[in-house]
Amino acid sequence: MLFFLCYGMFILWSLYFGAYEGFNATTSAAAKSTEKVGCVHDNDGTKSHHHGGELVARVLQEAGIKQIFTLVGGHVSPILVSCESLGISVIDVWHDATAVFAADATARLAGSSTTGTTTQQQQPAVGVAVVTAGPGVTNALTPIANAKLAESPVLLLGGAAATL
């Protein structure tokens, strides 16, 4: 299940930021060879000089995310630094599983508020956990399964080693 979640996030990320330029039938092979695949463009069509961490943080900010839970690691540091610079609280925990459990709890508790005897439904809050590559993602399996069974909206971002 985690594979499909991560693969689905990769596809959404790639489509959102135009990494699949090869799907555009009008793009010629010559144009592809001179332009870096996956290059992000600003709104005015110029190439962006932002790194992936800034892009992830911007998407989280646009989604209204106020805090993320993480165990700090090298693979995800650009995301964490960019989130801090955009005003998203980065809450460091002692274990990767704790980050996902905290994101799950945030999603469950922030989804509705009780006032007297009436419950006012708000927009569902999404809990966000950012874990490092390898053991971090493996340690997140139990809490992400728990969130799935509880039908909690949790977004898990797992780090990966750079590949070029």
What does the pLDDT look like over 96-129, one tens digit per residue? 999 999 999 999 998 754 444 445 555 668 999 9
Question: Which of 66, 67, 90 has its CA nearest to residue 78?
Answer: 90
Question: Which of 161, 154, 150 has its CA nearest to residue 129?
Answer: 154
Prediction pTM value:
0.66
Six token digits for residue 119: 């419950």
What does the pLDDT look like over 54-74, one tens digit per residue? 999 999 999 999 999 999 988
Ramachandran angles phi, psi of 123, nearest 5°: -65, 135
What distance, in Å, lies between the first and last C-alpha atoms of the chain? 27
Q: What is the SS3 assignment for 88?
A: coil
- pLDDT value for 121: 53
Residue 130 CA to residue 72 CA, distance in Å, equals: 9
Which carries the bigger pLDDT value, residue 38 or residue 103? 103
